Structure 1
Amino acid sequence: MATIEDIGIDLGSTNVLIYAKDRGIVLNEPAMLAFDYDARNVIAIGTDAYKILGREPSHIEVVRPLQSAVIRDFDMLSIMLNHFITLVIGKRIFSRPRAVLSISCMANELEKRQLILGMLEAGARRTTLLPRPLAAAIGAGINVMPHVGHLVVDIGGANTHAAAIASGEIMAESAEIDGGDAFTDAIIRYVRLKYSLLIGFKTAEDVKCAVGNLKEIGETEVTIPVAGRSLVTGLPKQISLSPSEVTEALNEPKRNFIEALIGVIEHLPAQLANDVFDNGIVLTGGGANLKGLRQVMEEELRAPCFVADHPQEAVAAGCGYVLERPQELSMFLGDKRNK
């Protein structure tokens, strides 16, 4: 195993990504564990736990330690962090890495202390907490140091973090915007109401990724088969869902998302708002890949929008860049940390 001294971690509600100095993204796993109540132990973590989701028997529960950017189960979070960090750096006694960990804007002081403690137990010798929007901006290649405003919209699974950044600081922010899961849930509701068919979250997520589009494409449509359980007969049933139906299903969360962003922009100081409209809005996070989102935002917000390269990796990369570029980004290493 290659020696790794520094790691950047995107600790999301949906996925955990780890960036290793000079190596890039070395881990991308679902942020979940499977707990067996009969055996009273964790039986699967990350991808292995995701495979069980929706198929778990009554004595097994798939747990997300973070929900809506809030720590729900610190013990499970510590186990998950320890597992992922060990996968990347191995078990170490004398050589422990430094880490930069993304932190939600909504995290309180207790949660911050819990995260630092969890990282210490997982093998990090020193942990710096970096606000998620700043990490996303740095990872997207934005120079956050000049006295010029940028608006970053990081679309995670449970939440979207929108933040105006200037002079290396967050000038205005909101983490109370729905993330990509809201679009997935909308597909589940649509299919249940229109077809009396109950489908799982994983099925709806696959539909969203395959044919989800916030814009009407106006082309010959190829339907996608969707299977679930009939709410009428209780038996397995399959339907054919068209892309236009999926677009219709996504209309409500799309409106909510745009209205929330308008609310953020409306509360910006005038000069900062002017900077945002000059420089555009940068989209990061896995939700930035939703087809038609950038175009809808440009039409509704009347500002240029750009999707970062590898948007899902931006937060982890930004955390890693802080460690790779200490001369340029040293101010971000002065955060609360353990030594």
Structure 2
Amino acid sequence: MRETGVTVAITPMIVPEAPDAANAAGFRAMVGVRNRVSSALFGADALDATAEQVLPTWTEQTDMALHGWLVRAEDEVVGRAVVDFPREVGSRRATIRVEVVREAWGRGFGSEAMAFAEDRVRQLGRSVLQAMTVHPAGAEPSLVPRSGAGTVPEDRFSRFMLSFGYTLEQVYRISALDLTRPIDGFDALLAGAREASGDYRYVSWTSPTPDEWLDDYAWLKSRMSTDAPTADMEMDEEAWDGGRVRRLEEVFARSGRSRLVGAAQHVPSGRLVAFTELSSFRVPGKPIDQDDTLVLKEHRGHRLGALVKCETLIRARELFPEGERILTGNAEENRPMLAINEAMGFAPTRYIADWQKTV
């Protein structure tokens, strides 16, 4: 229940034209909440983003719609509610993020914001509601997702989602690779991948994507929505073309984020058939993020996942020397990719629970 005697207001967040615009105070407060919550959940791996870095994601909504609200207790912004949903025709789903700063936990603000966000999602015509929660590694496991792979603790975050009728569908493992020390077995892993991938060659680039790879890269991005393990989470087949790739690259450039892409080309056909992405804000001591990684189903069995991950790691150490570790996330049922990560030396740091309900 919400704490009595406290006036709570949930108000729309205005997306300003610039982070220093006259109407940008609410946006900057939202970024402040994002940073405080991220620090509480991710510790040293959290990055304090600036309003300048966050704004490009909110102003480019061609492919994904974003709605935001501020949670105010008295005159203080203590939380935020964010709803995003894809613009693919026929899509039914929306993702809800409700975040409240630690100092305001246990006062009912999160419950009020979740009820508010769910009501807005219904008004937007979406019937499949999705959300995620973050849990520490090493916590006592007790909840098993419907996928049957992995566990998360029945902590305050899980209980919150269960109280709103969500089902735990899938668990993602977040793992870190320490780049400050030698990686045992790396050379053997890379040599084995190179030997097994005789009909393929490794290519890489930093954004923007060269024109010769643009269409293939867009096709690979679209296949992420159909070929990656998603358990029973409803997913839309995303439509990617060169224009969508360029829009994403522009968002990265405007936010000061660098991206390195490594891919495997099938030499007989000339097509790209596997890829991985690393991105970084180039902040010393902060992690490099491993974003999408995929091997097309029809080209699996040639150790292409190990090839692109190992080769791209070599390039990342040259391009992002300030990065001390890499963070990556994989579904617990994705044993082939987890096996590669484990062989490279990635170790679990936390888990992400994917929740879903239909209304």
- TM-score, normalised with respect to structure 2: 0.27
* TM-score, L = length of structure 1: 0.28
